[in-house]
Structure 1
């Protein structure tokens, strides 16, 4: 039996705002969408056009408050081939929430407060 990564899911309050963030900040594009017949939820899968791994954004119609992220100790991590340009863009977007120059990485946060680690390509 073999397993491979398929997707990570996060729940979002404002689906359009999150889609635009992930497009602008990370260059992700929508690969597919699913919506409940009764409109109670919508799933949007986004990918990087390079790997098969996807990010699933879940919007729930009845959610009326920010999600409780607890200590927010989990995160996504993406690599980039141009750390300087990426950091400049993310600073312009005002979404950099933590920098660790000694490790050569930094984190951004999305509209719902999820952290995303930005790493140099290896």
Structure 2
């Protein structure tokens, strides 16, 4: 038996704001959108146009309160083909929330408080 990654999911309050953030910050593109017949939520799948892995954003129609992310000890990670350019771009966007210079990585934060680690291409 073998398993492979397909997608990760996060729940968001403002779907279009989140889609725009991931588009602007990481160049992700919308690959699919789903509305159930009862219109209680919307799913948007985002891809990097390089791998098959997707980020699924779920927006619950009646949700108004921010999600409790606990200690937020989970994150996504992406590889930057030009780390220095990515760092300067994210610094200008104002979305860098944590830097670990000795490890050569940094994190950006989306509108809902989720972190994405940015690592250099090896």
Q: Same fold (TM over 0.5)?
A: yes
- The question of 1:82 aligning with 2:82 is answered yes
The residue number in structure 2 matching 1:69 is 69
Equivalent position SS for 1:21: helix
- The question of 1:100 aligning with 2:100 is answered yes
- Point out where structure 2 has 5 or more consecutive residues left out of the alignment: none
Paired residues for 1:1-122 under 5 Å: 1-122=1-122
TM-score by length of 2: 0.98
- Point out where structure 1 has 5 or more consecutive residues left out of the alignment: none
Cα distance per residue 1:48-99 (max 9 Å; x no partner): 0101100000000111100000000000000011111111111111110001
Q: CA deviation at 1:38?
A: 2.1
Equivalent position SS for 1:108: strand
- d(CA) in 2 for partners of 1:18 and 1:81? 23
CA RMSD of aligned residues (A): 0.6
- d(CA) in 2 for partners of 1:51 and 1:60? 27
- d(CA) in 2 for partners of 1:94 and 1:21? 12
- d(CA) in 2 for partners of 1:70 and 1:9? 16
Equivalent position SS for 2:18: helix
